[in-house]
Structure formats: structure tokens, C-alpha cells
Chain A
Amino acid sequence: MAHDQNDAPKGLLRRSLLQGTAGILATGLAPAIHAQDKPVLRYLGTAVNQDKEIADKFKADTGITIQYVAVTTDDVTKRAVTAPNSFDLLDTEYFSLKKIVPTGNLKGIDVKRVKNADKITALFTRGEVAGKKVGDQGTAPKKVIFLEGEKSKVFAKAPTQFMSLIPTTYNADTLGIRPDLIKRPINSWAELLNPEFKGKTSILNIPSIGIMDAAMVVEAMGKYKYPDKGNMTKKEIDLTIATLIEAKKAGQFRALWKDFNESVNLMASGEVVIQSMWSPAVTAVRTKGIDCVFQPLKEGYRAWASGFGLPATLSGKKLDAAYEFINWFLDGWAGAYLNRQGYYSAVLETAKAKMEPYEWAYWMEGKPATQDIKSPHGDLLAKTGSVRDGGSYEQRMGGIACWNAVMDENEYMVRKWNEFVAA
């Protein structure tokens, strides 16, 4: 990268001044010339991944504008399937690929054009963390990351030159708890349906993810052991939903949540003391000064991963710009930025180069913080001496039990989930 951190502000200022002037001139005089100059990439994804600072930094480095189109997780898939020309860059989760790839709306990403492709963590390509296999129930990325060709509608069984998505962020989810209101250690998914917390629990109301959490609970309670939690049979779906309905009728749940902010509010207001939760939501509760823990559990984690995909119709300058963005994204700055938010980045070694050693030790190695840990926005996340929930990268990602998934019996599952909501 041409800039290092020291000269970035100066370069940024000069560039934005020049652009500002050009913009003023262009509006009245020569709009066509200005528009031709650098492409604008329409970036379709969920709001959580669309950070203004990432777009600003990329623009400062390359002059290419990222235009965020923020929709919900479900709508990302819907648009990728029904309106593939409405975006230039897709940011979606691996489990959605089972729906998107068969439509032929995605273009295989040529790994030869991606500089750091061979440095992408083995978790994605081989399903390994530190040389050890992790759980691959559900839509594990290694099952769907390679395509047979650039225009293929089927997944390749072994690595090829074409990737469906270039991984960006991923993490492992577990239960969030309010230790100040629970006042005892929690170590199993089974606690979610423990009558002790009657009327104070919540579960995720996105059926395909919620049912995985429910399956973790069913297994933890010793009721049933699934061959694959991410691909249940009708009978297994019935069993899982029956367990949920029974709990709901007994008044176990205070509410169900569907979006990030709902889960934060439920937890922060004390309406709920234990619920399935996303790691940044736990951080959000904590930045309000309320004690909240992303609790590691003995049965392991439910993992998810998202990545960048290219629409099949993308070509020319826009395609080049999309590759430039992918290369820039894997180059470290964005990776470090994501790591500091508590996500994990796809290429660890470039991210490490852009992080301070004490930050790397806290976020990735599970060591006590030697200085106060701050978010990229400067909020205090952890005081000196504290340790990250779930420990190191290897402990956390090595403890994956299953991955977010789309089941073969998806339609039946959604119907049964509606039954749970209606019960």
C-alpha cells in the first residue's frame, strides 16, 4: 500500500480538497467526465457489516466510492436471487449460498486475481483451526466456498481456482448472560430452557438460526443427539419445535428477538437475563456500563461467516474495482478494524501487521490486556487486566459445534417455526 499511517491524514486532506473542488466544478460544468473517472460500487449487505470508516478509508486509498445498500440478512438473499443487477458487490453469509448459487447469479471469484487468496485461514478452505478439524455440521464454509468454474451453479468438492465468496468476517456465537442478575456460573446451552429463568429468556426469531440454537439446547439437555443439526429431518424438526413450544407454553420466554438492537435492549433493560446473542451486541450492552458476558459453553459454539461475492453480470471497470476492493480488504487495515470490533478477519497475518502487539494479544491470543482496550470508535471496551470472553482465537473458533445453515427441509422448518410463534 502506498500510504503508511503517518502520511494518510495529509494525503486525505489534499485529496478531499481536490475532490471537493472537482465536485463543485463538475456539477455545473462537466458531470460526464467526473462520473467516468472512478466507478461507484453498490455494496449490498446488512447494516452491521457496512462501516462508514471502511468505505471512507478505501475511498481515500483508491478513489473508488463504496455505496452501501443496507438491508436485513433475509433481504440480502432475496435481492441476490431476484434482483442480481441491483448491486455490484454482495456481502452475504455462507449459508445463503445454497439458495443463491443454483440461480447462476454469482460469478466465481478468480483466486489468481486475489493477492492474499492463499493466506485465507484454513478454517474456510479445509475446516481446520491450528491444524485440528472443527465441527462441520450445517453449512460449513468449506462445503460451499469453491465452485467448479467461473459460471458454475454447483459447488466443487475440492479446492479450485474459483471461489463463491471471499471470506471477510466470521465469529462463533453463544449465549449472552447478565451475570449480575443470574449470580451463578452458566456453562451449558441447557440453561436457556432452565425453568429457573422462567419469563427471563429469549431466543433468536430468525428461524434458520434460532432452530440451531434450539438444537444446541436439545442436545445439551440430553434429549436427542442430531446427526447434523444444520440439516434436520422432518422428525427432528418436530422434536425441536415441540421442545420450544412446551417451553413457551410454560412461560419460559419473555420475548423473541429479530434484530441486533432488540437483543441489546432486552438485555440492557433487564427484561431478559439469558438469551442467544451476537458478540457485538454483548459489546453494545457493555458499552452502556451494564455487565454482560458472551458466555463460553461446554457444548461449543454456533459459527457463522460472511464474505464478498460478485454478481454474474459484473464486468469491465466495475469488476476491476470490485477485485481492487477485495484485495484492499484482505490487505490488513480492514482486517485489523474488524478484529478490534470483536469479529475475526479472513487473513490473519496482514491484520496482525496493522494491530498493536497488545491489541493482538488481547483479541487473538486470549491474554490479559496490558492496556485499556478501545473500540475503533474510541469507546472503552475492556480495562487493563481483563481477558476476552471465550479466550483465544484457537479456543473459540476451535470450539465450533455447528455452522449457520439452510436445511433441505427449510420450507417445513419455517412452517413449524411459525407454529412455535403461534403457540
Chain B
Amino acid sequence: MARAVPAWWQAGPFAAVFGLFFLLPLALTLAVSFWNFNEYELIPAFSLRNYLTVFEGCGALGDRGNLCVTLATYASTLQLCALVWACTLALGFTVAYFLAFHVRSPGMQTALFVLCTVPFWTSNVIRMISWVPLLGRNGLVNDFLMGAHLVDHPVEWLLFSRFSVVLAFVHLYTMFMIVPIFNSMMRIDRSLLEAASDAGASAWQALWNVVVPLSRTGILIGSIFVITIVMGDFVTIGVMGGQQIASVGKIIQVQTSYLQFPLAAANAVILLAVVLMIIWGLTQLVDIRREL
């Protein structure tokens, strides 16, 4: 007991921060999601109205065979999320592999690693917007394509499309994959690779059977970063999608700006549940506690 008290004291500050800035707001959001509201006030009374509104019409397909807004929005957000995840994983893994196994000197490794962070020296929004003059109808890429007579009309899908959204996400968030994967790779005992090669494994076999399984903690952590960011994002999807692509974050933002806080809270709770389920699913694949 004498030793337990200091331990509690040490855990105290973080527990307080955690309680105050995470648990309390979360509990409030949950509570508000069951409140009623009108144009200008929240009415604290238990009501399922917000959840019913969110899923209104989701029991059946609409007249044109379309999904209800909520399901359509989740479908669109999840699809983007999957695309971004696949691209960032492929890129992040490759870059991390190069840094960890091909660059020999630690000095060079650090230098290249810092190079990867250079884009983070400017703001997110600026990095995003700088794509616009490049990809636009009269942008550099189209100018080049037209000039080289590769196309007759400007390519329209380069900007304000799913393509541009995924491109911007990959540009913005690949770093979140590189760092944890690189970190895992650096801990791999090099003698394992030598052993693999001694045992006659090809480079691909060593990669697939040694490096990938031993990097899975990094892959998992990177995936959690990317998935949580993309699921909640509304700025990137808005700017790069020309505000025409639905995202759950955007719906929440529109609702809060119209003072429909309970509806927004209900949407936030559902979003949180979906993201937690995805993360739970991922952690089933890797026992993250043991690996760390």
C-alpha cells in the first residue's frame, strides 16, 4: 500500500487530463445526442429523435434505388478511407523499407527522415490548395497534356473528384504510415534476415515471411492514424472534392453550424462507434500490447 500511493499520484495528472478533456466531453456528447432541440435552444429531455432522424429512410432503398443519406455518406467515406489506406500503406511501407534496410549510415537515415517531414513545415490547407492550379481545367497538367497533343479536351477528373481527394490525402498522411512502420523495422534483428538468406529464402520470401510479420505493429499503428483521420475529415474532402463529395465529418459540421447540436452529437456518436469497430477489428489481427 505504501508503494501504491505514490503510483496513484504519478498516474493522477494524466488521469485528470484524460478525464477532463476526453471522458467528460465524450459523456456530454453522448448525453446531448439524446436531447431534443429547436431553432435556438437545446431541450434536455431523453429522446431517440436524433438517432431516428439519422437513420430515417434507411430501411429500404429510395425511389431511384439509392441509399439513404447516412448510408450513402458512410459508403462514400469508407470507400475513400479504403483507397487512402491502401495507397498510404503501399507507399509508406516502401519508403520505410528503403530507409530501414537500404540506407546504411544512421546519419543518412536521419537526413532522409527529416526530408520526409519537410512538407509538414507548411500548413495542411496550403499543401492542399497548391494542388488546385496544378490539376485544374487550365492547370499545368492539362496544359502539358494538351500541349503534347495527348488529349483534345482538358481532363476534368483531375480536380474536384475522388481522384484529387485521394491524392491529397496520400500526400498529407503517408508520413503517418512511414514513421511507425520505420520504427518497427528498425527493431527487427538483422540476423533474422541473414538467417533467411542462409536458409535459401529469396528477397521476396524474406520480405513477406520475415519483414512484413515483424512490422505489423507499425502497420497497425499507421493504419489507425490514417483511418481515424480520413473518417473524420471534412476539410480535405471539401476542398479537393469541390464540396460535392459527401463525408460524415461534413454532415456533422453543417449540422453544428445550423445549431443542430443534438443531431450532430448523434452523428458523432455513430461515427465514433464505426471507427472504434474498425480499430477493434484491426487489433484482432495484431495483439498490439504484446508487440509493443
Instruction: Please list the residues of chain A having a beta carbon within 8 angstroms of any beta carbon in chain B.
Output: 72, 74-75, 77-78, 81-82, 98-100, 102-103, 199, 205, 207-208, 248, 253-258, 265, 269-271, 406, 410-411, 414-415, 417-419, 421-423
Contact = CB atoms under 8 A, between A and B. Distances in A.
A270 B137 contact: yes
B9 interface: no
B12 interface: no
A111 to B, nearest CB: 25
B136 A102 contact: no
B72 A269 contact: no
A74 B244 contact: no
A406 B40 CA distance: 12
B40 A421 contact: no
5 contacts: A99-B40, A258-B238, A258-B243, A415-B69, A418-B250
A103 B40 CA distance: 7
Interface string B137-167: 1110000000000000000100110000000
Contact of B40 (A102, A256, A271): A102
A63 to B, nearest CB: 36
B189 interface: no
Contact of B251 (A82, A205, A406, A418): A418
Interface in B225-283: 238, 242-246, 250-251, 254-260, 263
B244 A256 contact: yes
A421 B250 contact: yes
A418 B254 contact: yes
A258 B160 CA distance: 14
Nearest to B243: A256
Nearest to B255: A414
A421 to B, nearest CB: 5
Contacts of A82: 259
Given A207-B254, A254-B160, A270-B137, A415 B259 contact: no
A139 to B, nearest CB: 13
Interface residues of B, number: 34
B58 interface: no
B260 A411 contact: yes
Contacts of A208: 258
A205 B15 CA distance: 42
B133 A255 contact: no
Interface string B162-196: 00000000000000000000000000000000000
Contacts of B198: none
A61 B243 CA distance: 44
A410 B243 contact: no
Nearest to B72: A422
Contacts of B255: 414
A422 B70 CA distance: 9
Contacts of B242: 253-256
B69 A253 contact: no
Nearest to A74: B257
B160 A269 contact: no
B40 A100 contact: yes
Interface in B115-152: 132-133, 136-139
A160 to B, nearest CB: 22
A417 B250 CA distance: 12
A268 to B, nearest CB: 10
A140 to B, nearest CB: 18
B274 to A, nearest CB: 16
Contacts of A269: 132-133, 136-139
B134 to A, nearest CB: 11
> Most chain-A Cβ atoms within 10 A of its Cβ — which of B39, B138, B238, B260?
B39
B25 to A, nearest CB: 16
B109 interface: no
A251 to B, nearest CB: 9
A192 to B, nearest CB: 15
Contacts of B263: 411
B254 A414 contact: yes
B29 interface: no
B246 A418 contact: yes
A256 B245 CA distance: 10
Contacts of A74: 257-258
A265 B40 contact: no
A271 B39 contact: no
B259 A78 contact: yes
B116 to A, nearest CB: 30
A239 to B, nearest CB: 13
A269 B139 CA distance: 9
Contact of A199 (B53, B76, B156, B243): B156
Nearest to B244: A256
Contact of B39 (A102, A270, A419): A102
B257 A98 contact: no
Contacts of A258: 238, 243
> Most chain-A Cβ atoms within 10 A of its Cβ — which of B76, B132, B160, B255?
B160
Contact of A419 (B69, B76, B244): B69
Contacts of B156: 199
